[in-house]
Amino acid sequence: MTGNPPRAKIRPAEPPPRVPHGARPARMCDTSSIAQPKSHVSEPKAAPSTDFTQGSVQRHIVRLSAFLSLGYMSWVITSMLEAVYLGMLSTNALAALGFIMPVTMVMMSVANGLGIGASSVIARKVGEDDFVAVRRLCTHAMLLGLLIISTLGFAGYTFAIPLFQLMGAPDEVLVLIEQYVTIWFAGAPFFATSTIATSLLRATGHASVPGIVMALGSVLQVIFAPLLIFGLLGFPELGIRGAATAFLIGGVIPMTISFYWLVHRERLLAPTLERIGESWRSILHVGLPSMATSLVSPVASGIITRLLAGHGAAVVAGFSIAMRADMFIMMILMATASAIGPFVGMNWGARRYNRVRRAIQIVNGFCVVWGAFCFLFMLFFAETIVGMINDDPDVIQSATLYLLIVPFSIGFMGLQSVATSTFNALGKPIPSLILSMARMAVLYVPLAIVADYFYGFVGIFFATSATSVVVGLWAYFWLKRLIDQPGATSVVEAGNTSAATSS
């Protein structure tokens, strides 16, 4: 007994087994831990800050969702304010931001996908109390993120001009794009590592720090952007370069804070390359499909925008306004759906399956209630909200129609988001990818094309709502069947065999 590990931060490294009635007991150790007992002794502080396997399920979900909503909402507000600042600078600067947005979305999707993949496997290892694997995976996830994003950033920097020429940017806009992206690509690794680091912190039981770090980065960007764009308070007037520099500042400082928390406060990073290939495979097992899932939506949105463009600029403008209003509504659901991932992963790893089912019930119920509230709210106030933003009658009409039709399906969108996060947390990313591909390629785009032909742009809005209802119900029943069926635990574990053995 002299070789037992010291007491961890929150709970012992080898707690009493938490085995539901009839479930297979969890292994308390494996051959790797026997072969390397010194790792358990040397790093005692890898335990989670908050143990999601204990205490009120609802309290954990609310806490995770609240701080993640803070981070998401701050990011949305920052994106909108950046567009406002550049619109004040010039129309060409705003057009440059429009061309840049798809490229930035690709980089963000890669970072988010890696964060989701790492969070999935790490949360389950925390639930299993395998903190040696947790530290190794956290370290290797950060290295993988730096490698991939730095490579993409270098490629983007090198081929920026040909890329945006291919996208059709005119020469006068291309000059501004070059000024922005040369700085933005340099800052992308800082943003990406901060994104991955906050995912790791959530996976290991931290609810508040990730949301606060995300919000801090947004606040810094909002503060420095006007100062550097317009040369206020003695700062240099950099124009569009100032917007990119503000983004860089908003990435470097949060990344520094995240690294401090990972290294010094929680000791979740270790200087080791041992089994790095296996770690990367287990992370990419979920991460690659998650990236693909994230990339499907921007492509489909581009097609829908092209369809709406056939009905005039006012319709596209109305759609843009409505989408921004919709984004604020959806951020609450997206935060709640994303918050369930670490909770599910940790409890599934600890074999507390009833807590997983309870959490899914709570979050699904919230999605339905929130969706109903938003639909009723828009039913009465949609036209007023749009009128406060723009006074063009055609713009008001198209935006109001969108906000009367699409919010009906918001609750169903939430059901799909919950299912996607849960599948990823269980290490089963393929159902999420199938749902996303089917939604966009099989249902949404074809239905929108047909509806546009018969009913015009209003038909496109109905296609959006109908698709969300169908896919939301499909996702709900697919997840329910997986979680509730007899032997569900063995089904999930069988699907994770290769990833588990590599961790």
Domain ranges across the chain? 69-274, 289-503
User: Across all residues in the chain, what is the average pLDDT?
Assistant: 79
At residue 446, the pLDDT reads 92
Of residues 26 and 195, more confidence is placed in 195
Does the pLDDT value for residue 171 go beyond 70?
Answer: yes
pLDDT band at 454 (very low <50, low <70, confident <90, very high): very high
At residue 320, the pLDDT reads 72
Q: Which amino acid is at 220?
A: L
Does the pLDDT value for residue 46 go beyond 80?
Answer: no
Of residues 248 and 30, more confidence is placed in 248
CB 355 within 8 A of CB 385: no
The model's pLDDT over 307-364, given as tens digits with 9 standing for 90+, comes to 887 887 778 777 777 777 777 778 888 888 877 888 888 888 888 889 999 999 999 9
The model's pLDDT over 112-122, given as tens digits with 9 standing for 90+, comes to 888 888 888 88
Residue 502: what are its φ and ψ, rounded to 5°? -85, -5
Helix/strand/coil for 197: helix
Separation of CA 10 from chain center: 28
Does the pLDDT value for residue 415 go beyond 90?
Answer: yes
Does the pLDDT value for residue 138 go beyond 60?
Answer: yes
Helix (H) or strand (E) holding 352: none
CB 254 within 8 A of CB 216: yes
User: What is the full DSSP assignment across 390-425?
Assistant: ---HHHHHHHHHHHHHGGGGHHHHHHHHHHHHHHHH
The model's pLDDT over 272-310, given as tens digits with 9 standing for 90+, comes to 888 888 889 988 888 888 888 777 777 777 678 778 878
Helix (H) or strand (E) holding 382: helix 353-389
CA distances from 134 to 81, 140, 145, 344, 487 (A): 38, 10, 16, 16, 27
User: Stretch 245-265: mean pLDDT, rounded?
Assistant: 85
pLDDT band at 251 (very low <50, low <70, confident <90, very high): confident
The model's pLDDT over 7-21, given as tens digits with 9 standing for 90+, comes to 444 443 434 444 443
Q: What percent of the chain lies above the pLDDT cut of 90?
A: 17
At residue 321, the pLDDT reads 72
Quickly count: other Cβ atoms within 10 Å of residue 218's Cβ.
23
Q: Which residues, other chains included, contact 136 with Cβ-Cβ below 8 Å and sequence gap of 6+?
A: 270, 272, 274, 275, 279
Of residues 202 and 420, more confidence is placed in 420
pLDDT band at 93 (very low <50, low <70, confident <90, very high): confident
